[in-house]
Amino acid sequence: DVKVTQSSRYLVKRTGEKVFLECVQDMDHENMFWYRQDPGLGLRLIYFSYDVKMKEKGDIPEGYSVSREKKERFSLILESASTNQTSMYLCASIPGDRAFRDGYTFGSGTRLTVV
């Protein structure tokens, strides 16, 4: 019963390409997040969204943008991919009542390699 779906498991892109990472959740959650995961650095927040068409920068937004046109979909965009953006990208969501109940629900991740 997959609830947070990331469209690609593995991606290989060239330097300078524009890259779209898609995330869809079927739990009617208001809040969605994009993290990148790197060894020894844990999960670092790139962008998050509390509502449709709303976005806020996380800790490492440089080189990324996001789009939230519909509640269930949160897209991460690499405007011009660079090799230092090679990483595992994880999408997560939680309900919007601003009180944690069950923590995040994560997608299965997209491993992006930029060559």
State the greatest distance between any 2 C-alpha atoms of the chain, in Å, as a whole number.
41
How many CB atoms within 10 Å of residue 68? 20
- Name which of residues 28 to 57 contact another protein (CB under 8 A): 31, 33, 35, 40-45, 48, 50
Q: Which stretch binds another protein (CB under 8 A): 11-19, 64-72, 74-82, 90-98?
A: 90-98
Q: Which is nearer to another protein, 77 or 88 (CB)?
A: 88
Q: Which stretch binds another protein (CB under 8 A): 11-19, 61-69, 76-84, 88-96?
A: 88-96
Is the Cβ of residue 47 or residue 81 nearer to another protein in the bound state?
47
Collapsing DSSP to helix, strand or coil, 85 comes out as helix
Per the structure block, which two tokens stand in for 12? 């290989």
Pick the closest to residue 105 from 19, 33, 42 (CA basis). Answer: 33
Question: Least separation, in Å, of the C-beta of 40 and another protein?
Answer: 6
Q: What CA–CA distances, in Å, run from 13 to 49, 80, 89, 91, 109?
A: 26, 10, 14, 19, 16
Binding site for another protein (CB under 8 A): 4, 31, 33, 35, 40-45, 48, 50, 58-59, 90, 94, 96, 98, 100, 102-104, 106-109
